[in-house]
Amino acid sequence: MGSRLRQNWLGQLGGALVAVWIVWAEGSAAWPKDIKDIMSAAPEAISSPALPIPWEWVYDLQEQARQRQCTLVGLLRSRPLPAPDPQWQVYTRLDLVATPQTSRLTSVLFAKNTRTQALQVIYQAAASVYDPVEPLDFAMILPLAWQDNTLLAREYAGWFQTDLSWDRAVIWPLPADSNRIPPVQVWEPPPALGYAELLDWDPQARGRVLFAVADSLEEVPRLVSVGPGQDLLLRGTAPLPTSEPPLPQKGWTSATLAGSVPICHANNFGLNIR
């Protein structure tokens, strides 16, 4: 599934690794013992506990679709992330369409004006934007933190039940007034053959974001800072911290009432059944 796109993507990353030049950050010779050593130095960022990816909800709906032999639709909404300006808050919605053969997860990032109650679509993470012929299985947009009046969100995309996934940084400034919604900026991850996970704002430099990058799942990740011009700064290497498994759907609210059964649909909603 998606073999041609995956081979092309890995080939492009391999070529980029040869060409990329990482500038050493001042003081980077003192490697942190853990990613927490770096992230703890970011008191100016406004964030909330990291949203867990609700894989249990995804796999449960997929299994129900297989057992009931019909198309099921699920919607989850994240808890709001308030902006420094109390007039605004952001949240994301996950849209999952599951059939007995395949499924597709997309996501929409909203900004809500708490004064007028108006909703604005800020960004749509769609699995088909990378390759309409061989689209990805999932594309999520997850709000991470504010820095001053600028939002950092994580776009996470890939294929189900594989190790092939990657992140992009989505940057959105608060509007100066209620009538004009500024566009987002999308920053690509540093080149990597294994994975590139967006962590947060870079606490050592304002206006930059921090990725954990590795060429294999066994490798200790490199911490790479990315700036607006896609310039890269190596911050060191540090193992990602282990944490307790999150509670199912913590931070998420379902559109389906607890205990109710999702409605069966005969329509596959445009999914390419392979």
The pLDDT value given to residue 49: 65
Residue 264 lies in a domain: no
Domain total of the chain: 1
* Single-letter code of the amino acid located at 241: P
Tell me the three-class secondary structure of 31-64, residue by residue.
CCCCHHHHHCCCCCEEECCCCCCCHHHHHHHHHH
86 CB burial (10 A radius; 0-12, 13-18, 19+):
exposed
d(C-alpha 14, C-alpha 12), whole Å: 5
Mind listing the pLDDT tens digit for each residue in 133-168?
567 789 999 999 999 999 999 999 988 887 778 899
Top-confidence residue, 190 or 272: 190
Buried b (16+ CB within 10 A) or exposed e, 175-184: beeeeeeeeb
Residue 116 lies in a domain: yes
Residue 265 lies in a domain: no
Give residue 206's Cα distance to chain centre.
Answer: 21
CB 183 within 8 A of CB 206: no
d(C-alpha 205, C-alpha 116), whole Å: 35
Mind listing the pLDDT tens digit for each residue in 172-227?
999 887 678 899 999 998 888 778 899 999 999 999 999 999 888 778 889 999 99
Residue 53 lies in a domain: yes
| Single pTM value for the model | 0.79
What is the percent of the chain with per-residue pLDDT over 90, rounded to a whole number?
46
Q: Domain span at residue 56? A: 3-254
* Residue written as token pair 């999702």: 262
Residue 267 lies in a domain: no
Kindly indicate the confidence band of residue 259, based on its pLDDT and cuts at 50, 70 and 90: low
